[in-house]
Amino acid sequence: MSQRVAILISGGGSNMVRLLEDMAQPGHAAHPVLVLANDPDAGGLAKAAAQGVATKVIDHRDFKGDRAGFEAAIDKELRDSDVDIVCLAGFMRILGAEFVKGWDGRMLNIHPSLLPKYKGLNTHQRALDAGDTEHGCSVHLVTPELDDGPILGQAKVAIKQGDTAQDLAARVLKQEHQLYPKVLREFAASLKAE
């Protein structure tokens, strides 16, 4: 049975688009059933709808001071859509331990650094400030600790003299677009084989 995938986004959704494109290829072990955003203005929503994928907004601002309620609403959408795999793709809300544990071994995230380096935000500037000569992105399983779960794949870019954080972000994003579909493809195939 083809694995049912939900993608959680907050913004433009360029990684989401790449995941959808790859899942549309013949022989993929998964297919998208839902794109969910925490922001009604997330640009990725229209892109998903244009691909014929169901979309949903759970606006975190409707749940002020009630993260558990926000996460319960997301969880209900995922369960109602009978989701097997959750992909976080530029989803900019931190998810609590209870929610994460409910998707143990089934939720992936892409992070713009070579984990375990630079968990959290501003990863490109932090790599520059540290004088690193290489940087990149990681896809990992999500565990309750932020950006900490087992790494499923990484892609590297060289840091060049004079690079700005914007330069690096653009170069890393290109790699993200290659890496995330590749990892999801392998991950879905491994679940299917179980």
Strand order in the sheet with 107-111: 55-57, 30-37, 3-9, 85-88, 107-111, 134-141, 151-158
Residue among 72, 151, 165, 173 that touches ligand GRF (CB under 6 A): 173
Does residue number 39 form part of the binding site for ligand GRF (CB under 6 A)? Answer: no
Q: Are 191 and 3 in contact (CB under 8 A)?
A: yes
DSSP 41: T
Which listed residue (60, 111, 124, 135) is catalytic?
111
Which listed residue (15, 55, 138, 175) binds ligand GRF by CB under 6 A?
15
Asked if 111 is an active-site residue, the reply is: yes
**β-strand partners of 9:** 37
Q: Does 147 participate in binding ligand GRF (rule CB under 6 A)?
A: no
C-alpha 49/C-alpha 58 separation (Å) is 16
Give 38's DSSP letter. S
Between residues 89 and 114, which has the closer beta carbon with respect to ligand GRF? Answer: 89
CB of 51 to ligand GRF, least distance (A): 15
Catalytic residues, by residue number, are 111
Residues in the site for ligand GRF, rule: CB under 6 A?
Answer: 9, 11-16, 89-90, 110-112, 173, 176
